[in-house]
Amino acid sequence: MGKILNFLREFILGLSIVTIIVGIIVLLMGVIFYWLPDLQLGFYTDVINDLGEWNAFLLVGGLIIFGIGVYYLYSYFDKKKFVMEELETNKRSEFLKKHSQLKSTVKHLPKKYQIMVRDKEEELNVK
């Protein structure tokens, strides 16, 4: 389980973008298939008719997938912004005020941010 989480943590930016794109595609399919079932799209007309009532599930599923991707993308940028702002300080006392929050935040970011915090700890003699 740890290897999977480490992989997801390292590639969270790319995976959240891919999730958003997949969510948009499924959402658009759900919208088109649900509200425009009589739309003639050649081969895809048979697919639309075969899906029938499942088109509403495509719509809801696409919305959920899109929402998850947006949440993880926002979460990544919010945590990254916090870490970068805290690492800009050169005062040991300011760094110590947010040290525990900073350590818990970098656990959810790629390894390079953990290395940056470790380097800052060494620079400011924090243990």
- Eight-state DSSP code of residue 109: S
* Domain ranges, residue 106: 2-123
The two tokens of residue 25 are 């595609």
pLDDT (0 to 100) of residue 38: 66
Residue 51 pLDDT exceeds 90: no
- Per-residue confidence at 95, pLDDT binned at 50, 70, 90? confident
Residue 16, Cβ density class (10 Å: 0-12 exposed, 13-18 middle, ≥19 buried): buried
Percent of the chain with pLDDT over 90: 47
Provide the pLDDT confidence category of residue 35 given band limits of 50, 70 and 90.
confident
DSSP letter for each residue of 77-115:
HHHHHHHHHHHT---HHHHHHTHHHHHHHHTTS-HHHHH
Q: 80: pLDDT confidence band, cut at 50, 70 and 90?
A: very high
Q: What is the pTM of this model?
A: 0.81
Domain count within the chain: 1
